[in-house]
Each structure stands twice: as C-alpha cells, then as structure tokens.
Amino acid sequence: MSEPSPLDKTFKVIMKHMVETGQAPFYTEIAAELGLSVEEGRKALHDLFKAGIPGWLFPGTDYITSFAPFNHLPTQYRITIDGQEKWYGQ
C-alpha cells in the first residue's frame, strides 16, 4: 500500500480533530500534527481546499467554516454521535 499523500494526511488531521472536539482546527494545529512549520501548515490547509473538497474557509481568512459533513458555524442540522450532540451539519 502506498504512503498517503500530503492532502490525504491534512484531510485526516482535520476530520479527526472535528470528530474528537466538535471544532475545526486552526492551521497551527494542523502544522503541529503533521510536523510542519506554521506556514507549511497554512499552505497544506489551502492546498486541500483548492483541491476541491466539499467545504470552505471563511472568506478572507484561514478559518475552516465547513468540512463535509460538518459545519463549524451553527446550522439547523445537528449531528449526534454516540449520544453526544456537539456537531453541526452542512
């Protein structure tokens, strides 16, 4: 099996963080998890969204707003996992 690509690794870090905490990570957290510099973490974040994943950053920022199936901002769609309700859906 081949090594996961940098985009795959970035996706996994973000998804894992959102599932565990109910919050989207900041690029500094992504960088730390991937063993990258802060600027490389920011670039990894932007590269992932430029690749066309279903989600977006808040306009003019580096903040993850939506990362399918999760939305970082409150919506009318609540997600419950194992009795915990700490997520919003797209």
Give a yes or no: residue 76 inside a domain: yes
DSSP line for 26-64: PHHHHHHHHT--HHHHHHHHHHHHHTT-SEEEPTTSS-E
pLDDT tens for the chain, 90 residues long, are 789 999 999 999 999 999 999 899 999 999 999 999 999 999 999 999 999 999 999 999 999 999 999 998 899 999 988 888 889 998
Nearest-angstrom CA–CA distance, 29 and 26: 5
CATH code, 55: 1.10.10.10
Give a yes or no: residue 53 inside a domain: yes
Give a yes or no: residue 1 inside a domain: no
Nearest-angstrom CA–CA distance, 18 and 23: 5
Give a yes or no: residue 85 inside a domain: yes
Give a yes or no: residue 83 inside a domain: yes
pLDDT, position 67: 95
pLDDT, position 12: 97
| Host domain of residue 39 | 6-89
Give a yes or no: residue 79 inside a domain: yes
Domain count for the chain: 1
